[in-house]
Structure 1
Amino acid sequence: MSNDETHDLDASQAADRRALWWVLLINVGQCLVGVAVGLWAASTAVIGAALDNLADASVYGVSLYAVGRAASIKVRAARLSGWLLIGLAAMLVVEVLRRFFGGEAPVGPAMMAMAAINAALNIVCLRLLKRHRGEDVNFKASAIFTNNDSIVNLAIVLSGALVMWWGSNLPDLVLGLVVAAIAGNGGREILAEAREADEKAHSETT
C-alpha cells in the first residue's frame, strides 16, 4: 500500500470516528433527558425511546471500537448490537405489561415535545452517518437504529395527541409495544447484515 493510500485510509477512519463520537454523545444526551421526561410524564413510549437511545449509544460505542479493525471484529460488534436491541425490545414489553395493570394517563404535550426534539436530533445523526451507509456493517447498524428512532418519534407525536384526546394511557401502551416490535425487527436486520458480512468474508478467504 502506498503512502497516499495509507493517508487516505487513516483520514477516512478518523472521519468515521468523529461521526460516531457525535452520534454517541447525542444519543447519550437523548437518553438522559428522555428518561427524566418519561418518568415525569408517566409515558412508556418516551421511556422506551430513551432506552432505545441508550441501546443506540452502546451500539455507537461498539462501532467506534470496531473502526479500522479486522472484519471479524466488526461482525462480532454488529452481532452484539443486534442482540442488544432485541434485549431492549423484551425489556420494553415487560414494562408495557406492568403499566397496563396500573398507571395514570401520560402527559401528552410532554410526549409530543420530547418526540419533536428527538426527531430533530435524529436528522442530525442521519446526516452524520449518511455518507458511510453501505460501506461498513457497523455503520449499517447505526443507520438502522437512527431510522428506527425517526419512526418511533413520529409515532410518539401521534400517541401524545391521542392521549390528550382520550385521556387514557392506552395509546401510550400500544405505542410501547410498537416500539418494542420496531426494536426487535431492527435487531433482526442487524444480525442478518452481520451474517451476510461474515459469509462474504469467508467466501473471500476461501
Structure 2
Amino acid sequence: MVHHKAPPPAPEGAACAAAGCGCEAAARAVENGSPAFRRAVWIVLGLNAGMFALEVVQGQLAGSMALQADALDFAGDSATYGLSLFALTQSLSFRSKAALVKGVSLAIMGVYVLAAALWRTFVDGTPDAVTMGWVGALALSANVISALLLLRFRDGDANVRSVWLCSRNDAIGNVAVLCAAGVVAYTATKWADLFVAAIMASLFLSTASSIIRQARGELRLQAAA
C-alpha cells in the first residue's frame, strides 16, 4: 500500500493568498529577493508603518472613519512585509502562528472600524474634509513611491511583479478616501465617509477570516506531520 506524504504547509504568504489580498506573492518575493530588493522593502515597510500611524491619528482628529479604515490597509501591508523579513530564518510553525496573529489583529481593527462607523451614524458631526483630502493624497503618494521603489526589481519574476498589484490595490483605497473627502466637502455630511469606511472594513474582515482559516489549516498540517 502506498502512503502519500502530506504536502508541506505553506508559508505565511499562502495565508494571504487565500484572502486574495494581492500581496501574497509579494511576501514570497521578499523571501527570494536580492539584498538590494530587501533593502527597498525595508523602505516600503517604513512608509507603510508611518502612514498607518498617521492615518490612525489624523483619522481620529478629523473624525474620519474612512481614514481609519484605510489605515488597516497600511497595517496589513506592514505586517506582510515585516513578517516576511523577520521570518526568513524562522520555522514554518512560527510563520503560520505569525499569520494567525496578523489575521486576528486585522479582524479586531476591522470590527472596531465597523462598530465605530455604526456608532457615528447616530452622532452629529461632519468629518474634516480638508484633513481627509491631504492625508488621502499623502497615502496615495506613499503607495506610488512604494511601487516605483519595488518595480525596479521586476525583471520578469512573477512574485516580485505582484508587488505592483499589491500597491495598485492599496491605491484604490486611497482614491476611495479622496472621493469620500470630495463628497463630504460638497454635501457637508458624514455619509460618504461612513460608507467608504464600512466597505473597506468589511473587506478587511473577510481578508482576516481567510488568513485565520488558512493559518489554522497550516498549523493542523504541521501538527499531523
Structure 2: distance between partners of 1:87 and 1:99: 18
Aligned to 2:94: 73
The equivalences for 1:1-206 within 5 A come to 12=33, 14-15=35-36, 17-128=38-149, 135=159, 146-188=167-209, 190-191=211-212, 198=218
Structure 2: distance between partners of 1:39 and 1:83: 22
Structure 1 or 2: more helix by fraction: 1
Instruction: Mark the CA change 1:88 to 1:39 in structure 2 (over 3 Å): closer, same or farther.
Output: closer
Structure 2: distance between partners of 1:194 and 1:17: 24
TM-score (norm 1): 0.72
- For the Cα contact (< 8 Å) 1:109–1:160, is it kept in 2? yes
Code of the aligned partner of 2:128:
V
Structure 2: distance between partners of 1:27 and 1:90: 21
The Cα of 1:30 is off from its aligned counterpart by 0.8
Structure 2: distance between partners of 1:148 and 1:100: 28
Instruction: Mark the CA change 1:13 to 1:103 in structure 2 (over 3 Å): closer, same or farther.
Output: farther
Code of the aligned partner of 1:122:
N
Instruction: Mark the CA change 1:88 to 1:145 in structure 2 (over 3 Å): closer, same or farther.
Output: farther
Give deviations 1:5-58, integer Å, cap 9, x for gaps: xxxxx9946446424422221122112322332223221111222344344434
- For the Cα contact (< 8 Å) 2:72–2:106, is it kept in 1? no
Tell me how many residue pairs correspond in the alignment.
Answer: 189
The range that moved more, 160-169 or 47-56, is: 47-56
Code of the aligned partner of 2:126:
A
Over aligned residue pairs, what C-alpha RMSD do you find?
3.6
Aligned to 2:28: none
Q: Which ranges in structure 1 are unaligned for 5 or more consecutive residues?
A: 1-9
- For the Cα contact (< 8 Å) 1:13–1:67, is it kept in 2? no
Give deviations 1:151-191, integer Å, cap 9, x for gaps: 21111111111111211001111111011022123334545
The Cα of 1:129 is off from its aligned counterpart by 5.1
Code of the aligned partner of 2:54:
V
Aligned to 1:5: none
- Percent identity, aligned pairs only, is 26
Structure 2: distance between partners of 1:60 and 1:32: 16
Code of the aligned partner of 1:182:
L
Q: Which ranges in structure 2 are unaligned for 5 or more consecutive residues?
A: 1-30
Structure 1: distance between partners of 2:206 and 2:63: 26
- For the Cα contact (< 8 Å) 1:122–1:150, is it kept in 2? yes
Code of the aligned partner of 2:198:
L
The range that moved more, 20-29 or 46-55, is: 46-55
TM-score (norm 2): 0.67
